[in-house]
Amino acid sequence: MLQIRTDLAIETREMYREKNNVEISGVEVNVEEEKEYKITRVKILNKDGEEKLGKKMGSYITIEAAGLKQADQDLKDEISQVLAKELKTLINTNKHTKSLIVGLGNWNVTPDALGPRVIGKVFVTRHFFKAYNKSEDETMTDVSAIAPGVMGITGIETGEIIKGIVEKTKPDIVVAIDALASRKMERVSTTIQISDTGINPGAGVGNNRKSLNKEYLGVPVYAIGVPTVVDAATMVNDTIDLIVKEMKTHTEKGGEFYDLLGEMSQQDKHQLISEVLMPYMGNVMVTPKEIDTVIDDISLVIANGLNISLHHGIDLKDVNRYVN
C-alpha cells in the first residue's frame, strides 16, 4: 500500500478528500486567512474521524506562513504572537501552572535540531521558584526545560527520560517540540503544527519511539512541530504530477504518454519512483539547503511564542531580552 509520509493533520485530511472527494465525518475544520499567514484548525471529534485520519482525537492547529523561509524580524514577531495566541487558547494556563518544555531531536543533525535549539531560547524559571520558595509570581510561571537527546546518543528511550523527570518534578503540563515530515516541499520550514494529543519522537523520519502523551506521562502533553524534511519519493511523485500537467498544456506531441502518466494511480507512481530511486538513494529524506538559518529563525519564533504564552507578564517587547 502507498504510504505517503506526513505528520501534518492538514495533509492527511487533504489526501483523504483527494481520494474520496468528500469531507471526513467526525472532523471539524476552521480556516482563517490573513495577509502573511493562514491558520487551519482541524478537530477530530470521534472514533470515526480518528480512524479515517489516522490521528488521535483532539485539536490540530496549523499555522502556514510562506515567508518564514526568509523571514524578517517583523514577520518573526508576528508569527510568534500568532503562535502565542493559539497556545493560550489550546493550553489555558494560569499563574500557578507548572510547565515542562521538552526539546526532542538530535542536536548534531540540523534538520532534527529544532527541539534542542528551542530549549536554548526558552525562558526557564523553575530554579527561581525553588530558590525563593514561591508558588506564583506577578510576571512569570514555573517553567523547566530539557533536551534529552536521542537513544543513539543516550542509550535510553526518550520517553523513559521524560517520564522520570515528570515523576520527580511534577509539572502540570508537558510541551514537546519536534521536527516533523511533510508531503509537500512548500510546507517544509514554513508550517507550525500545534496539537493537544501528544507526540511520537522520531516519527518524522519513520523512527517511532514510545509515545509522549497523557496516558503514558500522567499529565496533558501538547506538541509543537515544524516539518523540516520531505520524503524523496513523495517529492519526485509531486514533481512528476506538476510536469505532466504543464507539458499537457504546452505540447501537442507525446500527448498519449502524458495522459498515461496522468492516469497512473498515486500508488503505482510512488512504487515506480521508489524502485527507480532505491539503487541510488534508498529511503532518502530531503531538506532545504538553507536549513541552518531556517532552524535558527523558526526556533526563535517558537521560543518567543512559548515565552509569551506561558509567562503572563511577558509580551513581545520583552521576549528578545531572554534569547540569544
CB–CB of 129/135 below 8 Å? yes
- Residue 54, pLDDT score: 87
Sorted by where each begins, the domain ranges of the chain are 9-233+284-308
Q: Name every residue whose Cβ is closer than 8 Å to that of residue 292 and which is 6 or more positions away in sequence.
A: 110
- Residue 25, pLDDT score: 84
* Chain centre distance of CA 291: 15
Q: Is 113 exposed, middle or buried (0-12, 13-18, 19+ CB in 10 A)?
A: buried
- Phi and psi angles of residue 164, each rounded to the nearest 5 degrees, phi first: -65, -40
pLDDT (tens, 9 = 90+) of the chain, 324 residues, equals 345 678 999 998 888 887 777 778 889 999 999 999 999 999 999 999 998 888 999 999 999 999 998 888 899 999 999 999 999 999 988 999 999 999 999 999 999 999 999 999 999 999 999 999 998 898 999 999 999 998 888 999 999 999 999 999 999 999 999 999 998 888 999 999 999 999 977 554 455 567 899 999 999 999 999 999 987 777 777 777 666 666 666 665 556 655 666 566 656 666 666 666 666 655 677 888 889 999 999 999 999 999 999 998 888 888 876 555
CB–CB of 190/236 below 8 Å? no
- Residue 190, pLDDT score: 95
Q: What is the CATH T-level fold of the domain 9-233+284-308, as seen in this structure?
A: Rossmann fold (3.40.50)
Degrees (nearest 5) of the Cα angle 61, 67, 71?
110
- Residue 128, pLDDT score: 95
The C-alpha cell that represents 148 in the structure block: 534529552
- Residue 317, pLDDT score: 81
Q: Name every residue whose Cβ is closer than 8 Å to that of residue 268 and which is 6 or more positions away in sequence.
A: none
Q: Name every residue whose Cβ is closer than 8 Å to that of residue 32 and which is 6 or more positions away in sequence.
A: 38, 39, 40, 41
Degrees (nearest 5) of the Cα angle 246, 184, 223?
165
Strands 58-64 and 191-195: antiparallel
Degrees (nearest 5) of the Cα angle 262, 267, 268?
60
- Residue 185, pLDDT score: 83
